[in-house]
Amino acid sequence: MTLKGLYAVTPDWNDSKRLLASTEAILAGGCRILQYRNKTTSDCHRQEQAGALRALTRRHGALLIVNDSVDLALQVEADGVHLGGDDGDLAAARQRLGPGKILGASCYDDLALAHQAQAAGVDYVAFGSFFPSQVKPDARRASLDLLQAARRELTLPICAIGGIDLGNAGPLVAAGADMLAVISALYEASDPRAIAERFASLFALSPNSLPGGREGRSVATRR
Ligand SMILES: Cc1ncc(COP(=O)(O)OP(=O)(O)O)c(N)n1
Ligand SMILES: Cc1nc(C(=O)O)sc1CCOP(=O)(O)O
Ligand SMILES: [Mg+2]
């Protein structure tokens, strides 16, 4: 499966019934990549929620990526793991996961970090925060210029994250983002399925037809 399109990331909800219902709607809307992220619950509850999301993503033919923990990713047979700067060594994680699992890395606003992550064997890199985020109000800010430079210099799929909604997503895709990672604009929506459908449709558009797409990659340079 390709690492392209809407990448839904779960909120810190401990109500599993609500979490599963909203996630099911997002997957029904065409999202094919889900990250399980819950920073506030116990390990035991995290394992339970991740296991339920594993079953749900399988039913929808979607990838499941676990945030922060190689152990949990292996326990629930997830498709991969996402690690940030404080989450352990990327090369060691690659060793433990083997070549078949997806490894993603946070690179914040730092292109040099992305080159290091690429050398360590990751499958995608993430930059952010592109916009103010209620989930991470103090996150470092990444720019469209950084995204365009990353697109020119890196061969890996690139993910954008942080405060992304339907109103600001177009220029990110036009600048070279392969994936848009989104929490609030999906999970706080009254109709998450409809929002997911509209995000998914952004990736079916050509760069120049996207809002802010004049500086998008030319067809010749797109992968
Ligand atoms: C797709 C994606 N990008 C970035 C992050 C942030 O990871 P990290 O910096 O480790 O912060 P936490 O999410 O662990 O708080 C992510 N989770 N997913
Ligand atoms: C988990 C996370 N990481 C970020 C980074 O910049 O690395 S921003 C972020 C929060 C994303 O949530 P929302 O879509 O609600 O802004
Ligand atoms: Mg982390």
Model pLDDT for residues 101-135, shown as the tens digit of each residue: 999 999 999 999 999 999 999 999 999 999 999 99
Residue 101, annotated as binding a ligand = no
Residues with Cβ within 8 Å of residue 138, at least 6 apart in sequence: none
Q: Which residues line ligand 2 (CB under 6 A)?
A: 106, 108, 128-129, 133-136, 139, 161-164, 182-184
Domain positions in the chain are 5-213
The predicted structure's pLDDT at residue 207: 54
Residues with Cβ within 8 Å of residue 25, at least 6 apart in sequence: 191, 192, 193, 196
The predicted structure's pLDDT at residue 210: 55
Helix (H, G, I), strand (E, B) or coil at 188: coil
116's tokens = 């290091």
The predicted structure's pLDDT at residue 204: 82
Average pLDDT over the chain reads: 93
Segment 20-30 mean pLDDT = 98
Whether residue 151 has pLDDT greater than 80: yes
CA-closest residue to ligand 2 atom 9: 162
Q: How far is the CA of 137 from the centre of ligand 2 (A)?
A: 9
Helix (H, G, I), strand (E, B) or coil at 159: strand
Q: How far is CA 42 from CA 14, 88, 190, in A?
A: 10, 20, 28
- Distance in angstroms (rounded) separating the CA atoms of residues 161 and 35: 12
The predicted structure's pLDDT at residue 200: 93
**Residue 141 phi/psi, 5° resolution?**
-100, 130
Q: 5-213 belongs to which homologous superfamily?
A: Aldolase class I (3.20.20.70)
130-148 residue pLDDT tens: 999 999 999 999 999 999 9
Residue among 135, 164, 195 whose CB has most ligand 2 atoms within 8 A, to mutate: 135
15's tokens = 């109500």
Residues with Cβ within 8 Å of residue 100, at least 6 apart in sequence: none
The predicted structure's pLDDT at residue 220: 32
The predicted structure's pLDDT at residue 158: 98
135, exposed or middle or buried, with CB in 10 Å at 0-12, 13-18, 19+? middle
- The answer to whether 170 touches 202, Cβ cutoff 8 Å, is yes
Rounded to two decimals, the ipTM of the complex is 0.99
- Distance in angstroms (rounded) separating the CA atoms of residues 12 and 173: 27
Q: How far is the CA of 206 from the centre of ligand 1 (A)?
A: 28
- Output b/e per residue, 16-26; b: 16+ Cβ within 10 A: eeebbebbbbb
- Computed on alpha carbons and rounded to an integer, the radius of gyration of the chain in Å comes to 16
- Distance in angstroms (rounded) separating the CA atoms of residues 129 and 168: 13
Residue 183, annotated as binding a ligand = yes
Least confident of 29-33, 145-149, 205-209: 205-209
What pLDDT band is residue 219 in, cutting at 50, 70 and 90?
very low
User: Which of residues 218 and 164 earns the better pLDDT score?
Assistant: 164
